[in-house]
Structure 1
Amino acid sequence: MTPGGAPGSVRPVVSFGEPEEFDERPRARGPRVRPRIAAAAACFVLGLGLIGGAVTGSWLVGEPGETGARDSFAAAGGLWHSVPVDQLFPPTVQGQGAGPGGADRTWTRIAVAPDSGCADAFDPLLRKALAPVGCRRLLRATYTDATQSYVTTVGLLFAKGDAAAMSALGRRFADEGLADRTDLMPRPYAAQDTPAAGFGPGQRASWTVSVLTDAPVVVYAVSGWADGRTVDDPQSAGKAMASGATTAPAQAGLGHEAKGLADRVERGLRKTVSSPTEKPS
């Protein structure tokens, strides 16, 4: 094949051998034609093989925008009503290496909020920031650590936005550092007769917000002390977990509480989407 040519195109053959003597007798052309046909056929088959391999590779990889990715995105958007709460928010969550210095963590669920909309679940500025993707449903649960010293609310906001809208929101959160702004903290879910009964807006110590781009979901978590103390200097989980952080939330490991629990709930969500054995409740 010539570079850029179509399958079957062949370079002209140029010979610098001794000239043949003139002979009027007819000559058989078959032996000269057949090798060329064979070469063209081989190039054609090779071309088909390369194209087929490329197509097969794209199926296996599942590039964004293809049918499989779209199906997974759509499936994730319906999990709020098709998956048991214990699967989305397990009664106990193990956080191996999730604490400061790689210490293990164990969280126990102490309350689950009724599934609802987002009208009263966020401060006004955060609600405005999330508005471009809408709110289909909000699920929340509150956990405490093994010592019942800390409480953490983790939430799953199931959005109405499509993949493009989620990607745009994710870029905005990353580019503008919205996840670190103290005026964009999520609200906790305080349940009566639990260690989180006094976990209100003033008790928020650390938080994390993650906008997924391969699912219409925003995952967040907010942590605080179980004794209901007010926090004057809340700090995002990203900053509280940074080396050398000296704020009270950082020293107590509350950034690790929020980030560690949110990450594991997100992993469970992804596993549920990809599981072929998922069964509706």
Structure 2
Amino acid sequence: MLVAGFGLVSALGGGLLVQHAVRNSDQKIRNKQYSMDLWRNVPVEKMFPAAIGREDPEKKSDGPDDERGWTRAAISSSTSCDAALSGGLVKLAAQRGCVAALRATYVDDTGGTAATVAIIAFRDLSAKEDLGDHIRDGRDKADHVVRALAAPGTQWKDAARTGDGGRAVFDMYTPMFVAVTAGPADGRRPGRLPDPWGNRPLEQKDDRSAWSSTAEGLAENVATRLANQIPKVGA
């Protein structure tokens, strides 16, 4: 009986070890270095999908991903921080160790608004902190933070930039920040409002606010997308 008891204990112990091994095999061990260099490890077309925005409200749960709102119109082959960024952000990014800035331009479904999105990569995780505050503080001065990337079929250029936004990628191992500038796709310059509105600073500020809200929303969309995609690409 004693021998049989030991056999039963051994069998139970072996079963528990097997069960533990199976559970461990399902665990995903985070590759921190992969996330630190995410901009090198993920194809640029995945970082900047062909279309972004909201899912079709009629989409079935098992249907293919099909977002609408913004269509990608151009992607830059350059990763230069100086070439992609402007205003106070280009200086601040350099001070904090910017290693790359990837850009793509999107056009909204109406064809009236263009936006250039910049995904900025740093060496240190702390570098992305408070960059959103810097962008918001510079809005009154029209200190645009991303250089407009020209896109076929539009007149999108630096002079048309009207509003800006930014959002850090919410991931503890990914030192990346998303900055966006938006404006009229037909190249119109944001001008002074006619009187009596043009004499009122608050109204002039509010005229830019809609563009800034658009840029902020797009920055949040892209930053959230990157954070959600990180576990799916081996990070």
Interval of TM-score (by shorter of Structure 1 and Structure 2): 0.5 to 0.7
Is the alpha carbon distance of 1:93 and 1:132 closer, same or farther for their aligned partners in structure 2, counting shifts above 3 Å? same
Q: What stretches of structure 2 of length at least 5 have no aligned partner?
A: 1-28, 56-66, 193-202
- Does residue 1:190 correspond to 2:153, yes or no? no
Q: Secondary structure at the match of 1:199?
A: coil
What CA distance in whole angstroms lies between the structure 1 residues aligned with 2:74 and 2:229?
Answer: 22
Aligned residues: 184
Tell me the CA shift for residue 185 of structure 1: 1.9
Deviation sequence 1:249-273 (CA, Å, 0-9, x none)? 33xx423321222111111211222
Q: Distance in 2 between matches of 1:92 and 1:131?
A: 30
Ranges in structure 1 where 5+ consecutive residues have no aligned partner = 1-66, 97-103, 234-243
User: Based on CA coordinates, which of the two structures has the bigger radius of gyration?
Assistant: 1
Residue among 211, 224, 229 paired with 1:267: 224
Q: Look up the SS of the partner of 1:186 in the other structure.
A: coil
Cα deviation code 1:41-80 (max 9, x no counterpart): xxxxxxxxxxxxxxxxxxxxxxxxxx95xx44x3223222
Q: Which runs of 4+ in 1 moved over 6 A?
A: none
Q: Name the TM-score, length of structure 1 as normaliser.
A: 0.56
Secondary structure of the corresponding residue to residue 90 of structure 1: coil
Alpha-carbon separation, structure 1, partners of 2:211 and 2:184: 8
Q: Name the structure 1 match of 2:195.
A: none
Equivalent in 186, 189, 205 of residue 227 of structure 1: 186
TM-score by length of structure 2 reads: 0.66
Give the Cα separation in 1 of the matches to 2:143 and 2:36.
24
Q: CA RMSD in A?
A: 3.2
| Segment of structure 1 superposing worse, 178-187 or 83-92 | 178-187
> What residue is the counterpart of 1:254 in the other structure?
211
User: 2-side partners of 1:124 and 1:94: how far apart?
Assistant: 27
Higher share of residues assigned strand: 2
**What is the CA-CA distance between 1:230 and the residue it aligns to?**
0.8
Match of 1:95 among 49, 54, 60: 54
- Determine the structure 1 residue equivalent to 2:163: 206
Deviations 1:124-161 (A, max 9, x none): 5322222232121111110011110100111101112x
1:131 match: 94
Asked if structure 2 preserves the Cα contact closer than 8 Å seen for 1:126 and 1:186, the reply is: yes
